[in-house]
Amino acid sequence: MSLNLLGEGFDIHGGGSDPTFPHHENERVECEAAGYSFARYWMHSGMLNVSGEKMSKSLGNFQTLGDAMDR
């Protein structure tokens, strides 16, 4: 899919930190084994914790960037 939409050797591949291994590692290896270059840089994000719980809409403990900037 990335080859069709972004072409070979795109700059940034983003994703959550939870599927880093084996999912993201397998993506890279599969592409290179097929003779294609993959992402030049990887950016993984993690969850924010608030009072020991992950920040989420469903828990009602989230803030938007706008809320934080207003403070």
pTM of the model: 0.53
Residue 52 zone, left/alpha/beta (φ > 0; ψ -120 to 50; rest)? left
Q: What is the pLDDT along the chain (71 residues), one digit of tens a residue?
A: 877 888 888 898 888 777 767 888 888 899 889 998 888 898 888 888 888 888 888 888 888 889 889 98
Taking the C-alpha atoms of residue 58 and residue 48, their distance in angstroms, rounded to an integer, is 14
pLDDT at site 70 = 94
* Strand-pair partners of 14: 43
